[in-house]
Amino acid sequence: MTDDNFSSPQVLQSDLGWNQVQETVLLLNLAVAQITGTLNEGDESVNALTGSLTSMMGDISTLQATLKDVEQSAAQESMQGSCDAISAQMNKAVVAFQFYDKLTQRLNHLNGSLMGLAALMDAPERLHNPDAWRGLQQQIKSRYTVDEDSAIFDAILQGKSVDEALRAAAEAQHSPKDDVELF
């Protein structure tokens, strides 16, 4: 099924007021709005989960302190084992939150890059200025805090395909390092 707006002869005819740059800027702004909305929704969910985990960790600590005062028994050992298992699962959830943090940082960088691109394209005096484009590229690269992101950036600007850039990022991620990468 086709959308009537895209198949009508009126749309297919040349329109003197139509501007592909302005249309691109509109779509870039749409992408920014969608990413921002998604990040806001994700933050609300993660904040709720963080509150729940914090509360549960407090409850586990209270239970463990109470168990220390209870006479040694098989039931006490079983409850202590359950508390330890729950604590271990909660620690795994904290690690998952760290990866969520990395994801949101990347999406925020992407948002900034798209906004910068839209602003550049929307400024006729900058649109055809190679220095303006190089400046945008440097601004984008300066935001990267993860080696894989820099590797993707460099590969794409060297003219490599998306697949080649992703392979370069995977190699950067798995290369031996002496330091710990913080994001």
**Helices 162-174 & 147-157, crossing angle to 10 degrees?**
150
Report the alpha-carbon distance of residue 139 to residue 135 in Å, rounded: 6
Task: Let me know if residue 26 belongs to a domain.
Answer: yes
Q: Mean pLDDT across the stretch 115-119? A: 95
Task: Let me know if residue 8 belongs to a domain.
Answer: no
Domain extent, residue 115, equals 20-128
Helix extents (H) in the chain: 4-7, 9-12, 20-69, 74-121, 124-127, 130-142, 147-157, 162-174
Q: Mean pLDDT across the stretch 76-103? A: 87
* Tens of pLDDT, residues 134-174: 999 999 999 988 888 899 999 999 999 999 999 988 887 77
Q: Mean pLDDT across the stretch 16-35? A: 88
Task: Let me know if residue 59 belongs to a domain.
Answer: yes
Task: Let me know if residue 115 belongs to a domain.
Answer: yes
- Number of domains forming the structure of the chain: 1
Identify the pLDDT of residue 141.
94
Task: Let me know if residue 150 belongs to a domain.
Answer: no
Task: Let me know if residue 151 belongs to a domain.
Answer: no
Task: Let me know if residue 95 belongs to a domain.
Answer: yes
Task: Let me know if residue 81 belongs to a domain.
Answer: yes
